[in-house]
């Protein structure tokens, strides 16, 4: 319930609501019913706050109901496409500049009406040639942008086809009965070669994607993100491969080959790279020859470490660690330390056993990369946990000061010293428990050792003369 209240007061969600009202003509009651569903709340907040969601589609269904997702619906309807503009998460401030909005239904009208009307040469017979050519170039760019936007909305790469593929001259040029030496249409060749450059850029943007990019950007994805990446990559690459193998694209490549265009061989190389990438994306399993490389293994092991750390954080509840019963908190920290130690020990054990998993005829690929590449983050977490454990155990010892009773001739004086130290300690302990300090936040500039020094050692240093007196009389 609290999450729903927070979501309803989120200005970013209000902005999406306003856009849905404006673009999709959604009524207030439809929006309220939509936003009340937990599934829709999760979709919206995943898009706004998480790195793995780069687009959000809002669309209406039967009866005017509002729906959300990251893929287009099976029925024809207007789509409100919301894309992130160069950011991984949408901030609460300045979010309007971080979002790109578009109506995807434009592609239907563009393809069915605008392109058909303006590309038909019969509709501009009386126009000057320069005007006709200029409109044609702008129409090519518009259609290309619309197709690309529709691809982004559907989560795939769409290669826009040139309008020239339907021209009689283009079909005539591909007639195998026409002898070599037929006149070359410079405008036709320029249009196709320009589009080939655009295709190559689109395809290379997909080929250069890597599942380790989020790790390099400072994010902490788990192994499920690896599976999601390769599933999405495989689907996208298969779509590109299918488009390349389509008759229209093959007709274009045949045209480039006939005119001996320099772009033919370069694009054929791109097509070859796509075929290799498809094989790699389809071969992610235990015996994968593509995945069994240090680069891939390191990324996967880092993601497994992130998963263990995520579970550890959920178990420890760092922001509540000093607010729970101290004995329980220390126990949780010690269990987590044991789990991380066992994880690292298992890594070394199985790394030494790698040769056992290969057959005699296979080339053994050892995990010869440094372990620090895998455990860099978990080692920092371990350092924090060890310091937290020391802090907890030391705190337990200091809390025993409440029960100290001293007798003898100087017992009253010493008891007052102990009482003063205990009061100062209790004040510091109370301040720490009420603070928002996260002991596992490695991005925090305050080191754990500094916190321990200030929190625990300072009272001892301040009261060093009295402490010396105590020890000399015990």
> DSSP string covering 5-47, please?
HHHHT-HHHHHHHHHHHHHH---HHHHHHHHHSHHHHHHHHHH
Asked if the structure places residue 175 within a domain, the reply is yes
Last-in-domain residue among 272, 291, 310: 291
Cα angle 409-413-414, degrees, rounded to a multiple of 5: 95
Question: Both 176 and 319 in a single domain?
Answer: no
| 411 and 315 inside one domain | yes
State the Cα–Cα distance between residues 276 and 270, nearest whole angstrom. 10
SS3 call for 59: strand
Do 167 and 274 have their domain in common?
yes
Phi, psi of 257 (to 5 degrees): -65, -40
Number of independent structural domains in the chain: 2
Of 235, 268, 291, the one marking the end of a domain is: 291
Collapse the DSSP code of 145 into the 3-class scheme (helix H, G, I; strand E, B; otherwise coil) and give the result.
helix
Query: Rounded to 5 degrees, what angle do the CA atoms 9, 13, 18 make?
Result: 110
Domain limits for position 422: 294-473
Q: Please count the CA atoms within 13 angstroms of the CA of 337 that sit on its side-chain side.
A: 15
Cβ atoms of 170 and 258 closer than 8 Å: no
Sheet of 66-69: strand order equals 66-69, 55-60, 79-84, 99-103
CB 438 within 8 A of CB 458: no
Residues with Cβ within 8 Å of 441's Cβ and at least 6 positions away in sequence, in order, are 318
Tens-digit pLDDT profile for the chain (474 aa)? 545 556 767 889 888 888 888 888 888 888 888 888 888 888 888 888 877 777 888 888 877 788 888 766 665 677 788 888 876 778 888 888 888 887 766 555 555 566 666 666 677 777 787 877 787 777 777 778 878 877 876 778 999 887 654 455 555 555 544 444 445 567 678 878 888 999 999 999 999 999 888 888 888 899 988 988 998 899 999 999 999 999 889 988 988 888 888 999 999 999 999 999 999 988 876 667 788 888 899 999 999 999 999 999 889 888 788 788 888 989 999 999 999 999 999 999 999 998 888 887 778 888 999 999 999 999 999 998 998 888 888 888 877 777 766 666 677 777 777 777 778 777 877 777 777 777 777 766 554 444 544 454 444 444 444 444 444 444
Q: What would the two tokens of residue 182 be?
A: 């037929």
Residue 423 in domain: yes
- Assess whether 274 and 383 both reside in one domain: no
Task: For residue 323, tell me if it sits in a domain.
Answer: yes
pLDDT, residue 273, reads: 95
Structure tokens at 199: 């295709």
Same domain, 441 and 457: yes
pLDDT of residue 468: 42
Q: Do 220 and 306 contact (CB within 8 A), yes or no? A: yes
Residue 252, domain member (yes or no): yes
Of 275, 291, 307, which residue is a domain's last?
Answer: 291
**Residue 461 sits in the same domain as residue 428:** yes
250: tokens are 């093959």
Distances (CA, A) of 457 to 12, 307, 467: 46, 35, 12
Q: Are residues 312 and 339 in the same domain?
A: yes
3 state SS of 84: strand
Beta strands in 251-393 (DSSP E): none
Domain assignment of residue 286, yes or no: yes
Q: Are residues 415 and 431 in the same domain?
A: yes
């Amino acid at each position: 319930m609290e999450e729903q209240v927070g979501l309803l007061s989120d200005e970013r969600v209000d902005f999406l609501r306003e856009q849905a009202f404006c673009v999709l003509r959604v009524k207030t009651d439809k929006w309220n019913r939509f936003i009340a569903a937990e599934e829709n709340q999760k979709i919206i907040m995943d898009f706004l706050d998480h790195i793995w969601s780069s687009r959000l589609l809002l669309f209406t269904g039967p009866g005017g109901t509002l729906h959300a997702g990251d893929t287009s619906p099976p029925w024809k309807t207007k789509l409100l496409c919301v894309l992130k503009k160069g950011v991984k998460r949408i901030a609460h401030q300045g979010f309007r500049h971080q979002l790109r909005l578009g109506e995807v239904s434009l592609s239907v009208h563009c393809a069915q009406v605008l392109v058909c009307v303006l590309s038909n040469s019969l509709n501009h017979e009386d126009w000057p040639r320069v005007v006709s050519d200029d409109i044609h170039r702008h129409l090519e760019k518009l259609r290309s942008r619309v197709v690309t936007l529709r691809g982004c909305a559907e989560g795939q790469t769409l290669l826009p086809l040139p309008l020239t593929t339907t021209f009689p001259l283009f079909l005539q040029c591909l007639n195998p009965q026409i002898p070599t030496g037929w006149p070359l249409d410079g405008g036709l060749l320029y249009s196709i070669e320009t589009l080939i450059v655009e295709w190559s850029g689109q395809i290379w943007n997909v080929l250069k994607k890597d599942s380790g990019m989020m790790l390099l950007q400072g994010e902490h994805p788990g192994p499920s993100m690896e599976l999601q990446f390769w599933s999405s990559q495989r689907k996208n690459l298969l779509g590109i491969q299918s488009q390349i193998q389509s008759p229209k694209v093959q007709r274009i490549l045949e045209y480039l080959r006939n005119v001996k265009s320099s772009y033919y061989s370069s694009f054929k190389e791109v097509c070859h790279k796509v075929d290799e990438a498809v094989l790699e994306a389809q071969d992610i399993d235990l015996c994968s020859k593509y995945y069994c490389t240090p680069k891939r293994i390191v990324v996967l092991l880092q993601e497994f470490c992130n998963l263990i750390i995520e579970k550890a954080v959920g178990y420890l509840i760092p922001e509540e660690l000093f607010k729970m019963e101290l004995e329980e908190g220390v126990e949780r920290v010690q269990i987590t330390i044991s789990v991380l130690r066992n994880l690292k020990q298992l890594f070394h054990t199985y790394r030494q056993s790698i040769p056992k998993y290969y057959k005699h005829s296979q080339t053994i690929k050892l995990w010869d990369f440094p372990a620090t590449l895998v455990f860099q983050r978990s080692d920092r977490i371990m350092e924090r946990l060890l310091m937290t454990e020391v802090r907890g155990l030391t705190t337990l010892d200091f809390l025993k000061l409440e029960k100290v009773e001293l007798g003898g001739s100087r017992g009253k004086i010493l008891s007052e010293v102990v009482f003063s130290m205990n009061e100062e300690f209790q004040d510091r302990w109370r301040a720490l428990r009420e603070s928002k300090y996260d002991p596992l936040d490695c991005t925090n500039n305050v080191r754990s050792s500094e916190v321990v020094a200030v929190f625990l050692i300072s009272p001892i240093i301040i009261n060093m003369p009295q402490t010396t007196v105590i020890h000399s009389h015990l």
